[in-house]
Amino acid sequence: MNILQEIFKDNYEIIQYTLHPRAVEMDNIEKMINCGDPSFGGAMYACSQCGKMKFVPFRCKSRFCPTCGVKYCRERSTSMSFKLLRCHHRHCVFTIDEELRHFFLEDRSLLDCLFQAVRIVVSHMFYKINKSENFVPGFICVLHTFGRPLEWNPHIHCLITEGGFSDKGFWRAVKHFNYTYLRRAFQTVLLSEMEKRIGPSFKKTKALIYRKDKNGFYVYAKPALSNTGTVIKYISRYLGRPVIALSRIDSYDGDNVTFHYNRHEDNVFVQKTIPAIDFIKLLIQHIPERNFKMTRYYGLYARHRANDPSPGCRAVHPSKHVVFRSFNRWREMILLSFGYDPLQCPDCKKKMTFLELYFNHERVSLDELYERTMAKAKARMKAKCRSS
């Protein structure tokens, strides 16, 4: 059991009956607490030579879980890398005024407005370069709802190609990004989108924000990402991170939690000690609603485009996708991270083979699982045929 599981397990009843969490929060908390518990099932492996056996428990596969969240982020980063074009990219961060943050916490559907505003602003910036040619960039938007101190701070990280394809199919590099335009346009579009959703009651806040932020919202750029390898590593490290890593939790004494972070403004090391229940409240507020897309693709990176760039323009050629995905399997991840093979027999050093699957203390027949899977696949095929 890791330290985060211990914190939540000790305070489970307080969370359930005092905090009154959303259903999706409670679901993720239960998954995380029970992650790796053998009583919920797993797979049995055995060495064919010496007969030594090993039981590998199931994981919860929740993004909120620090263990499974890392694997999820690696898989998502790998999928992102398959879409990337072989070109320079710019990483921009779109932030909002503190006065607006509570609107997104009280009504999480408003988070769609952040994505919508970034999409409109970036697309229009490239459109203004040459309206007749209509240059289209590729950009990926990732929503972060947290800052380093774990407070509620929704903002968008956007990875943008430094260039775009025209309607006629040729590429134009773009090195200059007009950040004055981005700040003001992002503010205007976002406030307009929020007013459409919230209604006339938002007009007073809108006028206040315009008076307060006369130069627009803060939009800043990270260092330019030159080669494709740097971009892929950057995605894995930055755009796909969980709310808090276990390494940032320093101690837990049963009542208080101590964690640390480097302050964003000046990179000064800060250590905070707060009651465990307050720490829990900080974390669970960042659990997204079920089926909410935290990562969205636009322009050249959008799905089902009529004129997709050729596979040769991609950072990772389709022929290498299988190899890249193989590094995300649990066995390979443990081997790469910790230097040992979890399925190697510790005695005779032979590879262990799969024996049986268990779920809720009962052995599960593989034939039965196969039949269930095939039945579901046939049902989906029939439904697709009827709809077409």
Q: Which of 91, 299, 298, 99 is nearest to 190 (CA)?
A: 99
42 backbone dihedrals φ, ψ, rounded to 5°: 170, -170
**90 contacts 177 by C-beta, under 8 angstroms:** yes
- Digit-by-digit pLDDT tens for the chain (388 residues) are 889 999 999 999 999 999 999 999 999 999 999 888 888 888 888 888 888 888 888 888 888 888 887 787 788 878 888 888 888 889 899 999 999 999 999 999 999 999 999 999 999 999 988 888 888 999 999 899 998 899 999 999 999 999 998 888 888 888 889 999 999 999 999 999 999 999 999 999 999 999 999 999 999 887 667 666 677 666 666 655 678 888 899 999 999 999 999 988 788 999 999 999 999 999 999 999 998 998 899 999 987 766 666 666 777 878 888 888 888 888 888 888 788 888 999 888 889 988 888 876 666 666 776 677 677 777 877 877 776 6
Is the sign of the CA dihedral 279, 280, 282, 283 positive or negative?
positive
Q: Which of 146, 96, 149, 89 is nearest to 118 (CA)?
A: 96
Tokens of 223: 């260092």
DSSP class of residue 87? S
Maximum separation of any 2 CA atoms in the chain, in Å: 76
**353 contacts 46 by C-beta, under 8 angstroms:** yes
| Range list of H helices, the chain | 3-10, 12-14, 23-33, 66-83, 101-106, 111-127, 179-198, 203-212, 228-234, 276-284, 321-326, 330-338, 366-387
| Residue ranges covered by each domain of the chain | 67-243+286-316
